Amino acid sequence: MAQTTTTTTNQALMEVLNATIKEGRHMSSTTNNNNNNNNNTNEEKQLAKIRELLLKGADANYVGIGGNRNTTTKKKWTPLSYACHHGHLQVTQLLVQHGANINGTTTTTRRTHNKSSLPSHTFTDAPLYCAVMNGHLKVVEYLLQQPNINVNIVNLFEETPLYAACMYGSSGEAVIERLLRHTSVNIDQANRFGETPLFAACRRGYIWLVRLLLQYGANIHRATKHNDETPLCIATLHEHQTIVEILLQHNNNNNNDEISSQRNISNETSSIKDTSRQKDDTPKRKKKKAYKSMMASMMKSTNNNKNKRDMDREKLRKVMGGGTFSKVDKI
C-alpha cells in the first residue's frame, strides 16, 4: 500500500513538473503585464505543489518522463534533468534542496543497431549536460556552484558537457566560457575516439570557439586514437583556412615563448655562474691588486738602495703569502 502511494506521489510530481515547465514557457512568450502577473501567480502555485509533493515523500530522483515514441531512443528523465533541459532555475533549485542527484542517474538506454543516426547528447540525463546543451546559462551557473558537481561527467560516448558544447555549438559562448572557468574542468578530456573539445571545434569550423579554447590552454597537439589526427589535421581536411592559420600562429608563438624561456634560463644560469666565479675569485683578486700596487710603488721609487728593494719584496711576499715573484706573476 505504501509503495502504491509513493508511486502515485511520484507520478503526480511528474505531472505537476510538466505543467510548471509549460507554464514557464507560456510566461516567457507573454508580453502583457497583466498576463505576466497571472502567470507568476500560477507558477508560484505550481512550485508550491512541487514542494508539497516532495515533503510528502515524492522521490526527487524518480525516473518517469519518457521520450518520443517515434524515436529509437527510450529517453528517460529525472525531475532535475527535465527542469535543467528546459532551463527552469526555480524548479532546479527546489529539487536540489530536496535531495535530487546533482549528477543524474545515467539510466538512459539506446538501441545499438541505430545509434549512428542519433546525436550522442541524447544518451545522458546528467543535469549539467542537459543545461549546457540547451544553453541555459543561469542553470549552468547554479549547477557549477554545487560542491559535488562533476563538471567532466560523460555520456555513453565518453563526451563531457564541454566536448558536446564544442561539437554541436548550441550552447553559446557564455555557457562554454563558464565551463572553462570552473577549476575542475578538463579542457583536453577526450571522448572514446580520442577527440578533444578543440578537435571538435576545429572539425565544425567554429573560429570563435577555437580562439576561446586556445586562450584557456587547450592542447593543439593531442591526437585521436584511430588515425592520430590532430586539431590541425582535421581543420586542414575540412578546409577551415582561418582556423589552420590560427593554430599555426599559436604554435609559432608557443615555440618562440619556449625559446625565449630557454634563453632566459640560460642567461640566469650564466649569471649565477658568473656571480659564483666572482665570489671564488675575490681572494685572488685582492692579492693581484696588492701585487700590482706594490709593483707600481717599486717602479716609481727612485731609491736604488738594494736593502729598500729587498724590504719591499719581503712585504710583497707577506701580502702574497710567500713564494717567489715568478710564482706571483702567474696569478
Supply the CATH number for residue 215's domain: 1.25.40.20
Q: Are residues 186 and 141 in the same domain?
A: yes
Cβ atoms of 166 and 184 within 8 Å: the answer is no
Q: Are residues 135 and 238 in the same domain?
A: yes
Which H or E run includes 77? strand 76-77
Q: Are residues 242 and 292 in the same domain?
A: no
Is residue 258 situated within a structural domain?
no
Burial class (CB in 10 A: 0-12, 13-18, 19+), 123: buried
Is residue 174 situated within a structural domain?
yes
Task: Count the helices and strands in the chain (H runs, E runs).
Answer: 14, 2
Instruction: Look at the chain and report how many structural domains it folds into.
Output: 2
Along the 331 residues of the chain, how does pLDDT read in single tens digits?
A: 556 667 888 888 888 888 888 776 644 544 455 555 665 677 788 889 999 999 988 999 988 765 444 444 456 788 999 999 999 999 999 999 999 999 987 544 444 434 444 454 555 779 999 999 999 999 999 999 999 999 999 988 889 999 989 988 778 899 999 999 999 999 999 999 999 999 999 999 999 999 999 999 999 999 998 888 999 999 999 999 999 999 999 988 887 765 555 555 455 555 545 545 555 556 656 655 655 565 555 445 444 555 655 665 565 555 555 544 444 343 3
Q: Are residues 231 and 301 in the same domain?
A: no
Return the half-sphere exposure (C-beta side, CA atoms, 13 A cut-off) of residue 174: 9
Is residue 243 situated within a structural domain?
yes
Q: Are residues 294 and 218 in the same domain?
A: no
Q: Which domain holds residue 171?
A: 2-111+119-251
Is residue 162 situated within a structural domain?
yes
Q: Which of 109, 121, 218 is nearest to 171 (CA)?
A: 121
Q: Cell 507520478: give the residue.
A: 11
Write down which residue in 231, 251, 271 finishes a domain.
251
Q: Are residues 170 and 310 in the same domain?
A: no
Report which residue type is found at 122.
T
Q: Are residues 229 and 287 in the same domain?
A: no
Is residue 221 situated within a structural domain?
yes
Q: Write the CB contacts of 210 (distance below 8 Å, at least 6 apart in sequence).
A: 198, 201, 202, 231, 243, 246, 247
Q: How far apart are CA 163 and CA 196, in angstroms?
A: 7
CA torsion angle 281 283 284 286 (round to 10): 120
Is residue 228 situated within a structural domain?
yes
Q: Are residues 238 and 293 in the same domain?
A: no
Is residue 82 situated within a structural domain?
yes
Q: Are residues 107 and 41 in the same domain?
A: yes
Q: Are residues 166 and 235 in the same domain?
A: yes
Q: Are residues 77 and 206 in the same domain?
A: yes
Write down which residue in 251, 272, 298 finishes a domain.
251
Q: Cell 529517453: give the residue.
A: 75
Write down which residue in 209, 235, 251 finishes a domain.
251
Q: Are residues 148 and 217 in the same domain?
A: yes
Q: What is the pTM of this model?
A: 0.69
Is residue 210 situated within a structural domain?
yes
62-69 contacts, C-beta under 8 A, 24 or more apart: 62/10, 62/13, 62/14, 63/105, 63/107, 63/125, 64/10, 64/11, 64/14, 65/14, 65/18, 67/122
